[in-house]
């Protein structure tokens, strides 16, 4: 897979440039929306939920930003990935190129937006007087596993979207449920053991909790947490790779 990616490097770079330019076409602020959009959402959620949950959570702005940062990345990445294959049908139906190139390029474009927002997040951490320690370097790990997880989920969704357009509407509902189930604006300490177990099976929540443990608690997550994040990422990627390999030629009959 990655060998073919190197062989089509020029096409891959052009797809990334196209997706990036397309996202900000005819906008006044351009790339500024990558940082302004999550900040506006942060402001709204802070105003709405701080009086209910913020009083019992230290550094609530940073706590909230952690959740929004990773959930928005997952939502944007999977939505872009879901439409990447169908949106480029006019290319791969005429030219024999690896179909995952389109999904990878969409994820790179979203990753660039995430990195820009991450820089803003660090500024907010400083304003919120969060202590910066060497443990911040470990944030590379959840970013890497989340990227692999997003690619895997995106591959599955993009394959399903080719066959069933209803996936677009179903995924919108699923993301809404996932947002409320990822403890973005509330804590999970007061939930029952059964609910705690349910949270542990939510990959997005586990990534958010990892980041909060590093940034806010100043501790290194357990080995089990590291293995869980890796397991979610590998499982999703393998599922996506299987879908693409299984239906590689079948896609052409449905676009």
Q: Please report the pLDDT score of residue 40 as a whole number.
A: 73
Determine which of 6-15, 61-70, 179-188, 228-237 has the lowest per-residue pLDDT on average.
Answer: 6-15
Q: Please report the pLDDT score of residue 190 as a whole number.
A: 83
Q: Please report the pLDDT score of residue 201 as a whole number.
A: 95
Determine which of 41-50, 139-148, 194-203 has the lowest per-residue pLDDT on average.
Answer: 41-50
Q: List, for residues 100-140, the tens digit of each pLDDT value.
A: 888 888 898 889 889 988 988 998 899 889 999 999 999 99
Supply the mean pLDDT for the chain. 85
| Domain parsing of the chain, residue ranges | 2-253
Q: List, for residues 19-68, the tens digit of each pLDDT value.
A: 666 666 665 555 665 666 777 777 777 776 766 666 667 788 899 999 99
Q: Convert the chain into a string of H (helix), E (strand) and C (coil).
A: CHHHHHHCHHHHHHHHHHHHHHHCCCCCCCCHHHHHHHHHHHHHHHHHHHHHHHHHCCCHHHHHHHHHHHHHHHHHHHHHHHHHHHHCHHHHCCCCCCCHHHHHHHHHHHHHHHHHHHHHHHHHHHHCCCCCCHHHHHHHHHHHHHHHHHHHHHHHHHHHHHHCCCHHHHHHHHHHHHHHCCCCCCCCCCCCHHHHHHHHCCHHHHHHHHHHHHHHHCCCCCHHHHHHHHHHHHHHHHHHHHHHHHCCCHHHHCC
Please report which confidence band the pLDDT of residue 11 belongs to, taking 50, 70 and 90 as the band edges.
low
Residue range 138-151: mean pLDDT, rounded: 96
Please report which confidence band the pLDDT of residue 221 belongs to, taking 50, 70 and 90 as the band edges.
very high
């Amino acid at each position: 897979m990655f060998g073919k990616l190197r062989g089509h490097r020029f096409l891959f770079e052009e797809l990334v440039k196209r997706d990036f330019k397309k996202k900000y076409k005819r906008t006044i602020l351009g790339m500024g929306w990558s940082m302004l959009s999550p900040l506006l959402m942060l402001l709204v959620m802070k105003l709405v939920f701080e009086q209910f949950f913020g009083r019992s959570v230290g550094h609530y702005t940073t706590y909230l930003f952690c959740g929004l940062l990773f959930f928005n990345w997952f939502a944007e990445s999977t939505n872009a990935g879901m439409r990447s294959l169908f949106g480029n049908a006019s290319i791969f139906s005429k030219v024999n190129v690896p179909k995952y190139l389109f999904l990878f390029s969409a994820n790179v474009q979203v990753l660039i937006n995430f990195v820009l927002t991450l820089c803003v997040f660090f500024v907010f951490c400083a304003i919120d007087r969060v202590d910066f320690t060497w443990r911040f370097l470990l944030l590379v790990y959840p970013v890497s596993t989340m990227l692999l997880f997003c690619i895997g989920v995106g591959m599955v969704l993009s394959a399903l979207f080719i066959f069933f357009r209803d996936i677009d509407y179903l995924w919108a509902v699923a993301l809404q449920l996932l947002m409320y189930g990822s403890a973005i604006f509330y804590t999970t300490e007061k939930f029952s053991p059964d609910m705690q177990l349910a949270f542990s099976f939510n990959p997005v929540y586990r990534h958010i909790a990892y980041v909060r443990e590093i940034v806010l608690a100043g501790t290194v997550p357990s080995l089990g947490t590291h293995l869980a994040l890796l397991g979610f990422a590998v499982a999703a990627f393998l599922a996506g790779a299987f879908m693409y390999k299984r239906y590689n030629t079948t896609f052409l009959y449905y676009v």
